[in-house]
Amino acid sequence: MSESTQLVTQLLRAVIAYTWFFETCDKTVLDDDTALKQQEYAGYLLNQLSDADKQRVVDELAALAAGETDPTYREFVETFAFTMGLVEAEDD
């Protein structure tokens, strides 16, 4: 089976978008505990990846952040790997 770069990119965009929603939604839409629980679960799932796949996600995140025009969202994407526990320090 061949790898699809577009598939990986789009799936990562979906994960980021949902995580952004959990991070930024008003508590009248979703209570804070549920949002945090969902973010932690996303981090747990991402941390099940192999080291090589984690690095691929980190590389893809860097490319996505570089193309992002919204500064707030760009910062969210830039710090996503650290926030999800994929890297030890934000500058990795």
Q: Is the pLDDT of residue 40 over 70?
A: yes
Q: How confident is the model at residue 88 (pLDDT cuts 50, 70, 90)?
A: confident
Give the percent of the chain with pLDDT over 90: 74
The number of helix segments (H) and strand segments (E) in the chain equals: 4, 0
**What is the Cα–Cα distance from 32 to 73, expressed in whole angstroms?**
20
> Mean pLDDT in the chain?
90
Q: Is the pLDDT of residue 92 over 80?
A: no
Over residues 6-23, the pLDDT tens digits come to: 888 899 999 999 999 999
